Structure 1
Amino acid sequence: MKRISIYFTTSLLLLGIFTSCNKQTGKSSKTGMAYNDKYNGGFEVNSKVKPGPGPGLIAIEGGTFVMGGSLNQDLGYEFDNVRRRVTVASFYMDETEVANVDWLEYLHWIKRNFPNDAEYYYNALPDTLVWRQPLSYNEPYVNNYLRHPAFQDYPVVGVTWEQANAYCEWRTDRVNEEILRSRGFLLDYKTLTAGTGKSGGATSVSSSSDPFNTDIYLNGQYRGEGIDGKKMKKDLNPNAAAAGTNSGSKGAVRPVRLEDGVLKQPYRLPTEAEWEYAALALAGNTEYENIADGRIYPWNGLGVRSPKKRTQGMILANFKRGEGDNMGTGGYLNDKADITAPVRSYTPNDFGLFNMAGNVNEWTADVYRKLSFEDFSDFNPFRGNEFVNKRLSDRDKGVYAKDKYGRPIKDSAKTGKKQKWSELQGNAAAADSSIAGKPYNPDFRGHLDTVRANLYGTTTLVNDRSRVYKGGSWNDRAYWLNPATRRHMQQDETSAEMGFRAAMTLVGSPEIISKGKPQFTQPKSKATGKTK
């Protein structure tokens, strides 16, 4: 078994955070015009880098694998994960499940920034009543599990799929806000708090007190006195200096753009394929593109006990060994957990991920279909796409409409392709009404889909709100520890056995570590004389 060097990988990728703002020297190979020259128009190009993962994430190098291939027995005769070869792009994934302390941080932010919005806070609360059982004395967990410091590093449970997604959106904004404030692109927290008493409460260009939102910021709608930092980027566009927008002795400045490579990609739930691929971690059994041994669990071997001398016989995950046996024998508790266990328990898999089997089941992004394997894309397979557009409050200026929490309002996309300008203007009135017309449906059956409308959710328990979860839990038998097993639950339902972890898209080259691997040497360009 080959353990991937996670810590080296993370350090290598984090380097991208600090180098992504270096300006690209030279000139365009197609026009001959110099980059980053304020006298020729000010087109800015940064050095090409691979940005690092966001806080809490680990790099997962993608590749091909047989989805469903680790399922050596189908006890329920479900036939809902039949083997098929797919490719998963490289991505980032949380090292651990989201813990209670992480969720309490989320709740604290809501209460601090929206102290009078009881509905917002209430809707973010996990359902702690999931611990109540008619014939079980679990009542103490109702009040203690989420908030008592003894459980602060235990996985949060009682969270719906919808709440998990809302947390990911919130986390994206907080991570990007921290990056911008710590580097001086936005006003630092100390100065901000001294002036307003809360994070994100400064006056923006729209004269609102909305918290920071990544999309709103990238659209240039989060600027002004009390928001702009002392180290904002210089705007090389000569028209910006002439307009005098936010200009001073140092000339015109601007917010960070996506092209600068400073901000992180959105946190999100992993797809089912990503989750299964990351749990198996077959990269640990791979050498020169050959997989030496398959797996049934996130570790090698056919059993659930450690073969190592120091830990021989110890259970490798937190699960229910049999009826009435949740923790082993008093005096020698084998898995050392009665309900959930701390998120950093047992041994991580070869990607460095903890508890990818047992502890809590984990939400994935996918809509459940029993026959998902029959209609899938073999690259980044995913079912559940609902394409949306950000609503515009001012179409001419491209200003996004915002909800009461300062987030962009999103409407169902009307088409799957870019419209002509004339079409866009012709549909402006319909678009402004937000839901006029039939939303674009990415389902491959399109308008011929009568099954979805007439059967799913009517004659079956499966519908578009059925979401896949995987991994097994503290209250499941060993069979469900297999990463290929799949179950579903409604996206607004909760359970004491359900938690989640987040993922993030990796942009750029999929290879995580290039050192020591053969590479093609690129000759000098005949056009520029430089080596790329």
Structure 2
Amino acid sequence: MKKVITFRTVLILALSLTVFSCKKSTSSKNSSRATGWQINDREGGFQYNTSFEEQETSPGLVFIEGGTFTKGKVQDDVMKDWNNTPNQQHVQSFYMDETEVTNVMYLEYLDWIKRVYPPTDENFRAIYHGALPDTLVWRNRLGFNEIMTENYLRHPGYADYPVVGVSWIQAVEFANWRSDRVGEMSLQKAGYAKRGSHLTDVSADATFNIDTYINAPTMTYGGNEEVINPDGGRNTRNAQLDADGNPINIYAKRESGILPLKYRLPTEAEWEYAALGLSEVRSYNIYRGRKKYPWDGQYTRAGKRRIRGDQMANFKQGKGDYGGIAGWSDDGADITNEVKSYDPNDYGLYDMAGNVAEWVADVYRPIVDDEFNDFNYYRGNVYTKNSIDEDGTVKVVTTEDIVYDTLSTGKLIARNLPGEILQVKVDDNETYLRTNFDKSNHINFRDGDRRSSRYFENFGDDEEEAENSHTKKMYNSPQHTVERDSLGNLLREYDQNNNRTSLINDKVRVYKGGSWKDREYWLDPAQRRYYPEDMATDYIGFRCAMSRVGSKTQRKHKTKN
């Protein structure tokens, strides 16, 4: 009997200790390990999202777990470009669009631009026209393609086809717009912004921008308190009252974990890593060889029994053959095809080979400088900072401050839209005595700057030259000039110098993957090509990516073998 009582006593004590320890560990999340003070106290003080568990996957994206891989060619370099020599790289985990950006997705963007910045207003006309894809890319001197010129972008029959005729610059602007719209919706769902305000309360003078909201929330939506502070902030999730009964902590911050990260173009390393889908050939902690295509195998036709013999991608199969014989040996398309028409790769990404080639973020150079960096490799960094007014607040662009850039094609592009924070180059305040960067523009670092050219002996002198002047000397590309006079007329001056030796400069961007116009050779994710960032074609599209914060993997049981 005594043994039973003793056992029960020990059991009760053990359970009590377990409950007590659980309560202690739970409550410690809101107790500072630095000071012992309470975090998220209703009376005020330090506020932080201590219950954050996982980054929410934003619309259209799939998760790509990062890792190491061999970037570069796996087949003969028949083009003799020597621009994709194999090298070991590591990319962090990130997210990428499941499919290419489609016509209907881009039309939603154009509709928003047209509503907020009506092209009937002369002040905003260039904003809408600058966002329009170039539908004339379909024309061919000896081809009848007017049906695509007139219908491909807007006809419902092509709604879920990848958008083309979009330059790299336009793709970046779409990603920025998408970031703001998704962030806007996140705030509405969390109660930090008025429901439906994205439809009823936006105008050229009252828009939402993530950076502006984080740095100066009262300046979003043109300072409309009814939108950014619904119900006086009293119904906001973390709203508190100060000693006088006024609501505080009524705006979301980075610390709240509510605002999503920004959409952007993937880097070249990210795109190639995601396209390969190497998890398909992983065996424990090694890869079983290398992949030539996004699918496992050496051929473009499927080997699986269910779909054996089917083409795995949309590409040009031979001279005068864009889709095979009708009803037989057909890849299902002659131009682009509807997204998700072919099986995805092992990451769940569609059309990473064929259909359209895709813009990536990087500036093109023939060499990937893995000697200097092999982690999240990217060429194209231009560091900026927020412009600060004399009163110490950030400078937010208004409808009177819009500045337009004239591209080499003659098209006008708005440098900043109203509601965004004006950006300026970093200066000595940020670079003094730093060892990791020393100026704003690092596009030509170690490949186009003075120290990497034959002018290296003069490196370090005090000459005042343009950022890309040495790139021009090293790669000697044509220097066309386009500007507008006081009346808005285009003044074009073509470079007719016959001594130019390259098309490479700081304004050409990498595009990856094969397209409906390419032969099988270009379906290899390692292949690299480049095109001017302000021009478009009928075979280059794009998809967006997003960085990941927090843990490398989404799995609950994180292996550390």
| Most deviating of 304-313 and 367-376 | 367-376
Instruction: Give the structure 1 partner of residue 462 of structure 2.
Output: none
Deviation at 1:79, TM superposition (A): 1.1
Q: Distance in 1 between matches of 2:157 and 2:289?
A: 40
Instruction: Give the structure 2 partner of residue 204 of structure 1.
Output: none
Which of 538, 548, 556 aligns to 1:506? It is 548
1:408 partner amino acid: I
1:229 partner amino acid: P
Instruction: Give the structure 1 partner of residue 34 of structure 2.
Output: 30
| 1:198/1:114 CA distance change after superposition, 3 Å | farther
Q: Distance in 2 between matches of 1:67 and 1:217?
A: 38
Instruction: Give the structure 1 partner of residue 509 of structure 2.
Output: 467
Instruction: Give the structure 2 partner of residue 434 of structure 1.
Output: none
Residues 226-237 of structure 1: pairs in structure 2 closer than 5 A: 226-227=226-227, 228-230=229-231, 231-236=235-240
Name the SS for the 2:362 alignment partner: strand
Which of 34, 49, 58 aligns to 1:54? It is 58
- Structure 1: give runs of 5+ residues left out of the alignment: 1-21, 202-207, 421-437, 521-532
**Identity %, equivalent residues:** 41
Residues 329-340 of structure 1: pairs in structure 2 closer than 5 A: 329-332=325-328, 334-340=330-336
Which of 74, 95, 98 aligns to 2:98? It is 95
Please say if residues 211 and 421 of structure 2, whose CA atoms lie closer than 8 Å, have aligned partners that are also in contact.
yes
Name the SS for the 1:143 alignment partner: helix
Q: Distance in 2 between matches of 1:394 and 1:266?
A: 29
Instruction: Give the structure 1 partner of residue 395 of structure 2.
Output: 400
Please say if residues 356 and 541 of structure 2, whose CA atoms lie closer than 8 Å, have aligned partners that are also in contact.
yes
Q: TM-score, normalised by structure 1?
A: 0.81
Q: Distance in 1 between matches of 2:27 and 2:142?
A: 65
Instruction: Give the structure 2 partner of residue 412 of structure 1.
Output: 425
1:465 partner amino acid: K
Please say if residues 508 and 530 of structure 2, whose CA atoms lie closer than 8 Å, have aligned partners that are also in contact.
yes
Please say if residues 90 and 506 of structure 1, whose CA atoms lie closer than 8 Å, have aligned partners that are also in contact.
yes
Q: Distance in 2 between matches of 1:377 and 1:400?
A: 35
| Most deviating of 252-261 and 481-490 | 252-261
Deviation at 1:501, TM superposition (A): 0.3
Instruction: Give the structure 2 partner of residue 77 of structure 1.
Output: 80
2:110 partner amino acid: L
Which of 96, 111, 114 aligns to 1:111? It is 114
Q: Distance in 1 between matches of 2:206 and 2:164?
A: 29
Deviation at 1:390, TM superposition (A): 1.5
User: How many aligned residue pairs are there?
Assistant: 460
Deviation at 1:80, TM superposition (A): 0.6
Instruction: Give the structure 1 partner of residue 143 of structure 2.
Output: 136
Instruction: Give the structure 1 partner of residue 380 of structure 2.
Output: 384
Q: Distance in 1 between matches of 2:28 and 2:93?
A: 26
| 1:28/1:129 CA distance change after superposition, 3 Å | same
1:489 partner amino acid: Y
1:226 partner amino acid: E
- Alignment pair present for 1:66 and 2:70: yes
Instruction: Give the structure 1 partner of residue 358 of structure 2.
Output: 362
Please say if residues 63 and 89 of structure 1, whose CA atoms lie closer than 8 Å, have aligned partners that are also in contact.
yes
| 1:74/1:93 CA distance change after superposition, 3 Å | same
Q: Distance in 1 between matches of 2:336 and 2:378?
A: 29
| 1:416/1:299 CA distance change after superposition, 3 Å | farther
| 1:457/1:120 CA distance change after superposition, 3 Å | farther
Deviation at 1:453, TM superposition (A): 4.5
| 1:25/1:237 CA distance change after superposition, 3 Å | farther
Please say if residues 70 and 86 of structure 2, whose CA atoms lie closer than 8 Å, have aligned partners that are also in contact.
yes
Instruction: Give the structure 2 partner of residue 3 of structure 1.
Output: none
Larger Rg over CA atoms: 2
| 1:24/1:417 CA distance change after superposition, 3 Å | farther
Please say if residues 394 and 421 of structure 2, whose CA atoms lie closer than 8 Å, have aligned partners that are also in contact.
no
Deviation at 1:53, TM superposition (A): 1.8
Which of 497, 520, 524 aligns to 1:478? It is 520
1:166 partner amino acid: E
Please say if residues 468 and 486 of structure 1, whose CA atoms lie closer than 8 Å, have aligned partners that are also in contact.
yes
| 1:415/1:280 CA distance change after superposition, 3 Å | farther
Deviation at 1:344, TM superposition (A): 1.3
- Alignment pair present for 1:456 and 2:457: no
Alpha-carbon deviations, 1:27-79, whole Å to 9, x = none?
Answer: 111212121124473443432422122100000000000000x5211111111
Residues 166-185 of structure 1: pairs in structure 2 closer than 5 A: 166-185=173-192
Deviation at 1:312, TM superposition (A): 1.4
RMSD between superposed Cα atoms in Å: 2.5
Q: Distance in 1 between matches of 2:33 and 2:546?
A: 33
Name the SS for the 1:267 alignment partner: coil
Alpha-carbon deviations, 1:184-220, whole Å to 9, x = none?
Answer: 210110xx47xxx74424xxxxxx8321111111112
Name the SS for the 1:275 alignment partner: helix
Deviation at 1:496, TM superposition (A): 0.2
Name the SS for the 1:59 alignment partner: strand
Name the SS for the 1:400 alignment partner: coil
- Structure 2: give runs of 5+ residues left out of the alignment: 1-25, 400-417, 456-469, 478-500
Alpha-carbon deviations, 1:343-387, whole Å to 9, x = none?
Answer: 111000000000000000000000000122465410000101011
Name the SS for the 2:375 alignment partner: coil
| 1:168/1:31 CA distance change after superposition, 3 Å | same
Q: Distance in 2 between matches of 1:388 and 1:336?
A: 46
Q: Distance in 1 between matches of 2:166 and 2:127?
A: 15
Deviation at 1:82, TM superposition (A): 0.7
Deviation at 1:23, TM superposition (A): 10
Please say if residues 205 and 398 of structure 2, whose CA atoms lie closer than 8 Å, have aligned partners that are also in contact.
no
Name the SS for the 2:89 alignment partner: strand
Instruction: Give the structure 2 partner of residue 490 of structure 1.
Output: 532
Q: Distance in 1 between matches of 2:351 and 2:44?
A: 55
Q: Distance in 1 between matches of 2:432 and 2:439?
A: 14
Which of 249, 256, 271 aligns to 2:252? It is 256
Instruction: Give the structure 1 partner of residue 211 of structure 2.
Output: 215
Instruction: Give the structure 2 partner of residue 5 of structure 1.
Output: none
Alpha-carbon deviations, 1:390-437, whole Å to 9, x = none?
Answer: 1122452x33332432111111222484669xxxxxxxxxxxxxxxxx
Q: Distance in 1 between matches of 2:450 and 2:519?
A: 42
Name the SS for the 2:521 alignment partner: helix
Instruction: Give the structure 1 partner of residue 409 of structure 2.
Output: none
| 1:71/1:373 CA distance change after superposition, 3 Å | farther
2:473 partner amino acid: N
Please say if residues 23 and 44 of structure 1, whose CA atoms lie closer than 8 Å, have aligned partners that are also in contact.
no
Name the SS for the 2:230 alignment partner: coil
Which of 120, 126, 129 aligns to 1:122? It is 129
Please say if residues 23 and 46 of structure 1, whose CA atoms lie closer than 8 Å, have aligned partners that are also in contact.
no
Name the SS for the 1:332 alignment partner: coil
